[in-house]
Amino acid sequence: MKTVYDFTVKDRKGNEVNLSEYKGKVLLIVNTATGCGFTPHYEPLEAMYKELKDKGFEVLDFPCNQFANQAPGSDDEIHEFCTMKFHTEFPQFAKINVNGEDADPLYAFLATEKPFTGFGKGLKNAALNKFAEMNNKQFGDKAYIKWNFTKFLVDREGKVVARFEPTIDMREVKAAVAAAL
């Protein structure tokens, strides 16, 4: 059975990183953007990371510019923004595509393991769904991720156990992470 440990990604300097380096840890894998309405999610992500990293928790940050061009900077510019504005210390990887023919294989795997089930109810969620549908038409059946700050929870064995859309309250995400630890 395939796990996240079977994948290799690039760090923000372009070096190969085998995700097996994270064996035995609980991971929250997130596609991010610096100019999104959900960019403030960096704050609770960093707070959760600081609080739980000594218990075997890691946040893996993958910037992506496929959603309304909300992450246009270079890897270094994105990293500088995140560390200066949100004081992030968790690992940030090279900017990737999460959708389409050029989607990073890790993200194709994550989304296949835990497919999109909706943003939830309410006017704000309906508006995001409409905007995401328009944006993702270009990717067809390879529109794996619907928007920035989609989070995948991976257990200590490397299995994808949950998917959280950006509209999910971060307290719910933290509770799931705590339970996985």
> Among all residues, which ones are annotated catalytic?
36
Q: CA 152, CA 111: separation in Å to the nearest integer?
A: 9
Among candidates 181, 154, 180, 152, which has minimal Cα distance to 166?
152
- Where are the alpha helices (H) located in 92-165, listed in sequence order? 105-113, 123-136
User: Hey, what amino acid is at 172?
Assistant: E
CA dihedral 175, 104, 90, 54 (to 10 degrees): 50
Find where tokens 């890691």 sit.
58
Q: CA 93, CA 31: separation in Å to the nearest integer?
A: 10
Identify the DSSP state of 11: B
Task: Look up residue 106 and give its two tokens.
Answer: 């890790």
